[in-house]
Amino acid sequence: MRTDDFADTEAPTSATAAPAVDAPDVDAVRAVLDGRWAQARAAVRGLADEPLFRPVYGLDREQYRDHVWRQAQQLAAHGHIRVGFPEAHGGQGDVGSWVTMFETLAFTDLSLLVKAGVQWGLFGGAIQHLGTERHHRRYLDDVIALRLPGCFAMTETGHGSDVQALRTTATFDPATDEFVVHTPDAEARKDYIGNAARDGRLAVVFAQLVTGGENRGVHALLVPIRDADGAALPGVTIGDCGEKAGLQGVDNGRLTFDHVRIPRDNLLDRYAQVAADGTYTSSIENPNRRFFTMLGTLVQGRVSIAGAAGSATKTALTIAVRYAERRRQFNVPGTDDEVTLLDYRAHQRRLLPALATTYALHFAQATLVERLHAVLGGEDTRAQRELESRAAGLKAVATWHATATIQECREACGGAGYMAENRLPQLKADTDVFTTFEGDNTVLMQLVAKELLTDYREQFGNLDFSGTVRFVSEQVVETVVERTAARSLIQRLVDAVPGRDEDADLLDRGYQLKLLEFREKHMLDGAARRLRAASGSRGSASGSEGRAAFEAFNNVQDHLLAAARAHVDRVILEAFVAAIDDCADADVAALLDQVCHVHALSTIEANRAWFLEHDRLTPARSKAITATVNELCTSLRPHARLLVDAFGIPEPFLDAAILR
C-alpha cells in the first residue's frame, strides 16, 4: 500500500458533504419498518411478557431441548402460528403474516425459531402445499397444535444440494397397496434432520418414487417413525447427530429405513398420483418441471430464513451500538473526558455501514414477503420462478451479512462480546448454519445466475450446446430490457444522471443506482460472451456436447456467481429506494435517505476495485467515495441509537448484561 493512499480521504475536493437531518420519532421509524404485517410483529413481541421466552444460559443439551420443547408447546397454545394455515384449520391462509411472525420470532431463542420452522414451516408446510384435502383433514390440526411433531427428511449423508440425486427409494407394491421405503446404503441415510433425534413422530420423506419398475423421480411421502410412547417403529433406525456448534436446543437426528411399508395414501400427491394398480399420473408431464414445481411450493422456507437472519443481525447491532454509546476508552488529549467508542471514526466504520445494509436488507425482505404472499400457490409459473430466484439470492446475501456483522459486533464489544451472558456468542454460533441450510449459499447464488441467463438446469437437457449458448445470450438482453422497463421510479432517477460520471454528485441516488446497474449488466454480458465463445471449441477433447456444455458452464462459474451477487446488490438498493419513496413521514424519509446513502456508497466502495478496473471510477473519485462514507457515518452517529431502537426488540429478548 502506498503511503499516500489515504492522504486525501478526509477532505478531497470531489467529496460530497453529508447534510444534517433532524431526528424523527422512534415510533414513526418503527412503524415504517413494521410495515403491512405490523400486527404479526406485535403478537410475537408480546411473548416478551412471559419468562419462558427469555434467553437462558448454562443448560446442558437435554435440558435445553426440554426448554425449547416447552417453548414450542406454549407457542402452539397461543395459536399465533395458525395464521398461515387454511381457514378450515383455524388459520387465515396469510403467508405474509406467518413469515413476518417467523422473522420476528428470531428476536427470541434461535433454537425455538428453528424448531418452529421445522414443525410448522417445513413439516406442516409440506403437508399443506404438497398434500391434498385428505392429508389436510387427517394431519393439519394435530400438526398445528403440536400433538403431532414431525420432521422434514430431505437431506441425505451423500446428497444435500442435489436433491434430484437422493438415493432413498419408495417402491410401490400393488399386491398390498403400499409403498416400501428403503435406505439402500449409508450414503442414503437421512441426515441433520430437525425433530428426528427426540420429538418427531411422523416424517415427510423425500425419496425416488418407483412404480411399475420405472423411476418417477423424487416425491414426498409421510412415513411414521415413532409410536405414541416415543419408541422407533419397526424398520426405522434413529440416531442423534449429537453436539453442534450452535442450536443445541434442536434435536437433529439421522433416519434410515429398512423396507418400511406405508399406505399408498401417504404419498403427498398434489402434483402426482399413483393408482391402486401402480399407474402413475401427473398434470405436469415434464419430470424436471414437476420436480421444480414441487420444490417451489417450499420457497417460503428460504424467505423465512432470510428474514430470521435479519432479525439476528438487528439483535447483535442493537447490543453493539448501545454498548458503544456507553463504553468509554482513552481521554481526549488535555482533558479528563474519556471518549465513547461510537465517537471514534473506526468504530463508526465497523458498525454504521453494517447497520445501513441491515436496513436495506429489511426493505428488500419486506418486498420479497409481499411477492411471496401474492405469488405462492398461484398458477403464474414465470412469477414463481422469479420469486424462487429472488428468495435464493436474498437468503444468501442476508445470511452472509448476518455472519459477518455478528462477528464484527462481537469484536466491537471486546471481551464483553465473548461472554455468553451478552448473547453475541450464541447469536454467532446459532446463525452460522444459516449460510448452508435451506440451501447452501454458493449453490443458491448459482441458481440466481442460471435464472438470470436461463433456467439452465431445466433447459440443458432439451437444447443442444449451441442452442443453449444462444438461448443464454438472448436471455441476457431480455432480462435487462424487461427489468428496466418495469421500474418507472428507478428508471426516472437513472435517466436524470448527467452523462459524465465525473459530473454526478456522489449523493445522487440515480448515479448510485446507475453504477450498480452497469456492474450487473456488464457481468451478465461478459458471462454470455464467454459462453458464446466456448461454443467454437466444443468438439475438441470433451467427447460429447453434454460434457462440453458442462465444461463451458463450469469454466465461467466464478463469473456467474459474481454476476448473481451484482444482481442481488442492485435489487436490494432498489427496494430501499422504493421504500423511501413510499414513506409519508418527511423526517423519517430524510433519515432513511441518509442511511440509504451509507448503504449504497459503502457497497460501491467495497467493489471499487471492479469499478476502477472498468473505468467507472477514477482514483480521485474512488477516494472521494471513502471520504463521503466517512462524513455520512459522522452525520448518522447521533441517530445510531434511534436506528437500533426502531427495530423494536423488547428488552427481555435482549437481556444482555452489558446493557443493564
Least confident range of 85-89, 318-322, 452-456: 452-456
The whole-angstrom separation of Cα 419 and Cα 330 is 23
Q: Percent of the chain at pLDDT above 90?
A: 73
- Is residue 208 within 8 A of residue 217, CB to CB? The reply is yes
φ, ψ (nearest 5 deg) of residue 251 = -90, 75
Q: Taking residues 485-498, what's their average pLDDT? A: 69
Give ranges for CATH 2.40.110.10 in the chain. Answer: 150-296
* 169-173 and 202-211 beta bridge pairing: parallel
Q: Which residue has the higher pLDDT, 338 or 181?
A: 181
In tens, the pLDDT along 640-650 reads 999 999 999 99
Largest CA distance in the chain: 92
Mean pLDDT of all residues in the chain?
A: 89
The whole-angstrom separation of Cα 462 and Cα 549 is 12
Q: Taking residues 168-186, what's their average pLDDT? A: 97
Question: Which pLDDT band holds residue 420 (cuts at 50, 70, 90)?
Answer: very high
In tens, the pLDDT along 401-418 reads 999 999 999 999 999 999
Q: In the 8-state DSSP scheme, what is residue 267?
A: B
In tens, the pLDDT along 81-90 reads 899 999 999 8
CB atoms within 10 A of CB 622: 18
Q: Taking residues 139-159, what's their average pLDDT? A: 96
Give ranges for CATH 1.10.540.10 in the chain. Answer: 35-144
Instruction: Look at residue 333 and tell me whether its pLDDT is greater than 60.
Output: yes
Question: What cell was used for 40?
Answer: 404479526
Instruction: Look at residue 269 and tell me whether its pLDDT is greater than 80.
Output: yes
The whole-angstrom separation of Cα 320 and Cα 342 is 10
CATH of domain 300-429+440-645: 1.20.140.10
Identify the top-confidence range among 216-225, 323-332, 486-495: 216-225
Task: Check residue 15 and give its pLDDT.
Answer: 60
The whole-angstrom separation of Cα 118 and Cα 249 is 13
The whole-angstrom separation of Cα 40 and Cα 435 is 26
Instruction: Look at residue 60 and tell me whether its pLDDT is greater than 60.
Output: yes
The whole-angstrom separation of Cα 450 and Cα 169 is 29
Q: Percent of the chain at pLDDT above 70?
A: 90
Q: In the 8-state DSSP scheme, what is residue 122?
A: I
In tens, the pLDDT along 183-202 reads 999 999 999 999 999 999 99
- Is residue 182 within 8 A of residue 171, CB to CB? The reply is yes
In tens, the pLDDT along 560-605 reads 999 999 999 999 999 999 999 999 999 999 999 999 999 999 999 9
Cell 426493505 belongs to which residue? 363
Task: Check residue 457 and give its pLDDT.
Answer: 35
- Is residue 367 within 8 A of residue 575, CB to CB? The reply is yes
CA contacts within 13 A on the Cβ side of 288 = 9
Question: What cell was used for 426?
Answer: 450464541
Instruction: Note the Cα 203 to chain centre separation in Å.
Output: 24
CA contacts within 13 A on the Cβ side of 531 = 31
Task: Check residue 4 and give its pLDDT.
Answer: 47
Instruction: Look at residue 461 and tell me whether its pLDDT is greater than 70.
Output: no
Task: Check residue 13 and give its pLDDT.
Answer: 43
Task: Check residue 293 and give its pLDDT.
Answer: 83
Sign of CA dihedral 114, 115, 120, 123: positive
The whole-angstrom separation of Cα 17 and Cα 14 is 10
Please check whether the domain covering 150-296 is classified as CATH 2.40.110.10.
Answer: yes
Q: Which residue has the higher pLDDT, 474 or 589?
A: 589
In tens, the pLDDT along 7-26 reads 444 444 456 667 788 889 99
- Is residue 340 within 8 A of residue 328, CB to CB? The reply is yes
Instruction: Look at residue 334 and tell me whether its pLDDT is greater than 80.
Output: no
Amino acid at 27: D
In tens, the pLDDT along 549-572 reads 778 778 889 999 999 999 999 999
Question: Under CATH, to which class is 35-144 assigned?
Answer: mainly alpha
Least confident range of 58-67, 157-166, 199-208, 533-542: 533-542
User: Which residues, including other chains, have CB under 8 Å from residue 298's CB and lie 6 or more apart?
Assistant: 122, 125, 126, 129
User: Which residues, including other chains, have CB under 8 Å from residue 285's CB and lie 6 or more apart?
Assistant: none
Give ranges for CATH 1.20.140.10 in the chain. Answer: 300-429+440-645
* Residue (of 434, 400, 309) closest to 606 by Cα position: 400
Task: Check residue 241 and give its pLDDT.
Answer: 96
Q: Which residue has the higher pLDDT, 395 or 7?
A: 395
